[in-house]
Structure 1
Amino acid sequence: MHQPPRRDRRLSRRMQPASTRRRAARLTVAGADVVLVGYFSAKERDFMTLMASAATALAARGARVVGQIVQRRGVSDGGAHKMGLPYSSRTLLSYGKVREVAAGCKQANADAAVFVASLTERQRRALTAILGCPAVSLSDVLADD
């Protein structure tokens, strides 16, 4: 027998309205203790300056940076063509570094983890669940002004 084609509902279940996605990313950093997390390619030589400017931008908005963690993507694992890619599409960082960030957030009793790199909605949800505090992109925090 011939069956009618099924409609794929997976995409409609996964996609949220844009207003919901933006609302989830918003975080008031004024008065919040945050851990600043950077993900940089080994080609990026001036990553400490970028971290310092991100910390300054957060401090200007009233946040207190209680910790800084950096993940560097080296050339030895995977070659130079993978240096711009994240270690994990789910969490951006390697598994060990995610555990280190989670421990740092817990130890500092941080209100949020602010990532210098942009996060996808999936990464944001996964990192928030793993870290135990909201994970947001620096660009989202700066855009809320």
Structure 2
Amino acid sequence: MQQNRRRDRRPVRRAGANCEPVPAAPVVEGADVVLVGFFSGKQKDFGALMDAAAGELARRGARVVGRVVQRRGVSAGGAARMALPYSSRTLLSYGKVRETAALCARTRAEAAVFAWPLTDRQRRVLTRMLGVPAVSLEPDADESA
């Protein structure tokens, strides 16, 4: 026997509905930015990678006013999931997104720069959640795919 399926009661979200366009790569020249990194627990040189990303931003004329690092696989979670993002929607865990938003507000940052490629959807969601434009330092995931 088949079971009756319950209707999903979540509100319907249509593509393009209630979404303001987010610029693909706002200019970070002369801007105060928060640098956000996402790294696997196996990656031991994440500090050097964050320093290199901060150097690249400085070369472009931006000033890094804060850093946030999300590491996956440090605690119990299994080796198979280490390279996967916490959320396909935000890349980071929800708590780390809140921490980043608070840091952006406290430092009055003008953008959050991710040292990881972001999809258009991630950029839109993170921009809304952080209150500042979320941009990627690396080429976007949508463009490289």
TM-score, reference length from structure 2? 0.79
Deviation at 1:139, TM superposition (A): 1.6
Structure 1 residue 133 displacement after superposition: 0.3
Task: Give the partner amino acid of 2:135.
Answer: V
- Determine what percentage of the aligned residue pairs are the same residue: 64
Match of residue 26 from structure 1: 25
Moved over 6 A (4+): none
Map of 1:116 onto structure 2: 115
Q: Does residue 42 of structure 2 align to residue 43 of structure 1?
A: yes
Question: Structure 2 counterpart of 1:120, which letter?
Answer: T
Q: Output the amino acid matched with 2:35.
A: L
Cα offset for 1:77?
A: 3.5
2:61 paired residue number: 62
**Contact map agreement 2:117 2:137 (CA 8 A) in 1:** yes
Instruction: Say whether the 8 Å CA contact 1:112–1:133 is kept in structure 2.
Output: yes
Specify the alignment match of 2:126 in structure 1.
127
- Displacement after TM superposition at 1:32 (Å): 0.3
How many residues are treated as equivalent by the alignment? 123
Are the aligned partners of 1:30 and 1:62 in contact in 2 as well (CA < 8 Å)? Answer: yes
Unaligned runs of 5+ in 2: 1-13, 141-145
Q: Which residue of 2 aligns with 1:83?
A: 82
Q: Does structure 1 retain, via aligned residues, the 8 Å contact 2:25–2:136?
A: no
Residue 75 of structure 1: how far off its partner (Å): 4.7
How far apart are the structure 2 equivalents of 1:28 and 1:76?
36
Residues of 2 paired with 1:67 and 1:77: CA distance? Answer: 28
Partner SS state of residue 132, structure 2: coil
How far off is 1:140 after superposition?
A: 4.6
